């Protein structure tokens, strides 16, 4: 009896061990994929997610449902994906706000996103644009800075929710120039931009993916982009360094992240698919025309390394602003 039981267990072992590869090989046959965006519809991450998802669907032969969960400075989305079954059916559009800034904004973190999430693929980088009203009296960045410094407490700037890149960039800008300007957070930077156009705010740092259209359409003026080089979409607009604020670079980015423990086979397939989409001539051109930067394709390990570098750079900056999650 003991020998028969041993043989039965031995013979069963390969079948048990083969379950995980079989599930990975079957992916994504089991149903739709949830691609969770930690911001409102129509914003930077949402726009990119829908462009990329539309190109991925036919290649996968499976529907991708883009789901917006903007609550709690994006932490609701990162929690949802962190706690999801690691089977490739729940993914996150990971941005600097959720995967970097929130580490400094929440104490304690509801989940340790440095261990519960892993990088899958890079999509694009999105510099911030310093937007002001068309009626702004200052015509240059130095003149604008002098105006803000001469009117302490009399101006406000808007952003998306507390801790987002639009907020942190504004706070860093004020630290650099030494001005006192009240911060007004909004559910999205688009709403802040509307209030600025209406005359209720002095400036907004808007993601280039949405801000470029506002600049090109004449709805707002800009003093420059917080990018290392000028953007192809608005080549006549200087960088903020060129405009008079040396070494001022601030951008968000859009990546795909998955729950830790997602099978390597699935992560690899997703990585190859996303890289193929965003590096294709049509999608790369579209993302650049919208005002973003498409870096070279990255492996999952390189995406994780990118997260680590961004955290080392920006977590001290966020903590220094004193910002807390709303």
Distance CA 66, CA 51 (A): 10
- pLDDT exceeds 90 at position 13: no
For residue 13, count CB atoms less than 10 angstroms from its CB and return exposed for 0-12, middle for 13-18, buried for 19 or more.
exposed
In a domain, 294, yes or no: yes
Instruction: Determine the average pLDDT of the residues in 50-62.
Output: 95
Q: Does residue 132 sit in the same domain as residue 96? A: no
- Considering 243, 261, 286, which residue would you say is the last residue of a domain? 243
Helix/strand/coil (H/E/C) assignment for every residue in the chain: CHHHHHHHHHHHHHHHHCHHHHHHHHCCCCCCEEEEECCCCCCHHHHHHHHHHHHHHHHHCCCEEEEECCCHHHHHHHHHHHCCCCCCCEEEEECHHHHHHHHHHCCCCCCCHHHHEEEEEEEEEEEEEEEECCCCCCCCHHHHHHHHHHCCCCCEEEECCCCCHHHHHHHHHHHHHCCCCEEEECCCHHHHHHHHHCCCCCEEEEEHHHHHHHHHCCCCEEEEECCCCCCCCCCCCCEHHHHCCCCCCCEEEEEEEEECCCCHHHHHHHHHHHHHHHCCHHHHHHHHHCCCECCCCCCHHHHHHHHHHHHHHHHHHHHHHCCCCC
Among residues 156, 215, 208, 150, the alpha carbon closest in space to that of 183 is found at 156
Q: Does residue 80 sit in the same domain as residue 133? A: no
Q: What is the CA radius of gyration of the chain?
A: 22
Range with lowest mean pLDDT among 24-38, 183-197, 204-218, 228-242: 24-38
- pLDDT exceeds 50 at position 20: no
- pLDDT exceeds 50 at position 8: no
pLDDT of residue 24: 56
In a domain, 57, yes or no: yes
Q: Does residue 116 sit in the same domain as residue 139? A: no
Q: What is the CATH number of the domain that holds 220?
A: 3.40.190.10
- pLDDT exceeds 60 at position 17: no
- Considering 219, 243, 267, which residue would you say is the last residue of a domain? 243
In a domain, 104, yes or no: yes
Q: How confident is the model at residue 22 (pLDDT cuts 50, 70, 90)?
A: very low
Phi, psi of 290 (to 5 degrees): -75, -10
Q: Does residue 184 sit in the same domain as residue 283? A: no
**Residue ranges making up the domain that contains 310:** 31-126+252-321
Instruction: Determine the average pLDDT of the residues in 298-310.
Output: 97
Q: Does residue 256 sit in the same domain as residue 193? A: no
In a domain, 26, yes or no: no
Q: Does residue 198 sit in the same domain as residue 282? A: no
- Considering 183, 218, 243, which residue would you say is the last residue of a domain? 243
The mean pLDDT of the chain is 90
Distance CA 240, CA 221 (A): 14
Instruction: Determine the average pLDDT of the residues in 219-224.
Output: 97
pLDDT of residue 164: 84
Among residues 274, 312, 311, the alpha carbon closest in space to that of 295 is found at 274
Q: What is the CATH number of the domain that holds 87?
A: 3.40.190.150
Q: Does residue 210 sit in the same domain as residue 261? A: no
What share of the chain has pLDDT > 90, as a percent?
A: 78
| pLDDT tens sequence across 194-207 | 999 999 999 999 99
Q: Does residue 192 sit in the same domain as residue 299? A: no
Q: How confident is the model at residue 189 (pLDDT cuts 50, 70, 90)?
A: confident
| pLDDT tens sequence across 106-159 | 988 899 999 999 999 999 999 999 999 999 999 999 999 999 999 999 999 999
Q: How confident is the model at residue 321 (pLDDT cuts 50, 70, 90)?
A: confident
pLDDT of residue 42: 86
pLDDT of residue 177: 96
- pLDDT exceeds 60 at position 31: yes
Distance CA 139, CA 135 (A): 10
- pLDDT exceeds 90 at position 187: no
Q: Does residue 118 sit in the same domain as residue 131? A: no
Beta-carbon contacts of residue 246 (< 8 Å; ≥ 6 apart) = none
In a domain, 18, yes or no: no
Q: Does residue 214 sit in the same domain as residue 266? A: no
Instruction: Determine the average pLDDT of the residues in 160-184.
Output: 92
In a domain, 198, yes or no: yes
- pLDDT exceeds 70 at position 25: no
| pLDDT tens sequence across 250-261 | 999 999 999 999
pLDDT of residue 2: 39
- pLDDT exceeds 70 at position 5: no
Does pTM top 0.85 for this prediction? no
pLDDT of residue 326: 61
Q: How far is CA 112 from CA 38, 160, 262, 266, in A?
A: 16, 23, 17, 23
Distance CA 61, CA 32 (A): 10
Q: How confident is the model at residue 14 (pLDDT cuts 50, 70, 90)?
A: very low
Is the separation of the CB atoms in 34 and 62 below 8 Å?
Answer: no
pLDDT of residue 10: 35
Q: Does residue 171 sit in the same domain as residue 229? A: yes
Domain count across the chain: 2
Q: Does residue 121 sit in the same domain as residue 257? A: yes
In a domain, 2, yes or no: no
In a domain, 8, yes or no: no
């Amino acid at each position: 009896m003991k020998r028969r039981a041993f043989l039965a267990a031995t013979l069963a072992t390969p079948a048990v061990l083969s379950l995980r590869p079989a599930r990975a090989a079957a992916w994504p046959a089991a149903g739709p994929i949830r691609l969770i965006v930690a911001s409102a519809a129509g914003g930077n991450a949402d726009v990119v997610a829908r462009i990329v998802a539309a190109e991925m669907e036919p290649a996968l032969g499976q529907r991708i449902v883009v789901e917006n969960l903007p609550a709690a400075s994006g932490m609701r989305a990162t929690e949802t994906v962190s706690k999801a079954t690691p089977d490739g059916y729940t993914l996150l559009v990971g941005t600097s706000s959720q995967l970097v800034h929130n580490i400094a904004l929440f104490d304690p973190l509801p989940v340790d996103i440095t261990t519960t999430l892993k990088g899958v693929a890079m999509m694009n980088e999105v510099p911030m644009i310093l937007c002001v009203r068309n009626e702004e009296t200052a015509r240059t960045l130095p003149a604008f800075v002098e105006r803000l410094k001469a009117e302490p407490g009399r101006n406000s700037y808007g952003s998306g929710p507390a801790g987002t890149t639009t907020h942190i960039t504004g706070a860093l800008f004020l630290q650099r120039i030494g001005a006192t300007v009240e911060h007004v957070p909004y559910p999205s930077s688009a709403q802040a931009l509307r209030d600025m156009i209406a005359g209720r705010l002095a400036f907004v740092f808007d993601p280039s993916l949405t801000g470029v259209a506002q600049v090109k359409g004449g709805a707002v003026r800009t003093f420059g982009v917080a990018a290392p080089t000028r953007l192809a979409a608005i080549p006549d607009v200087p960088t903020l360094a060129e405009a008079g604020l040396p070494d001022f670079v601030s951008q968000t980015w859009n990546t795909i992240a998955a729950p830790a423990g997602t099978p390597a086979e699935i992560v690899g397939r997703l990585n190859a698919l996303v890289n193929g989409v965003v590096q294709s001539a049509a999608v790369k051109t579209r993302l650049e025309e919208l005002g973003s930067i498409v870096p070279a394709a990255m492996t999952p390990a390189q995406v994780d390394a990118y997260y680590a570098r961004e955290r080392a750079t920006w977590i001290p900056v966020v903590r220094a602003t004193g910002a807390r999650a709303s």
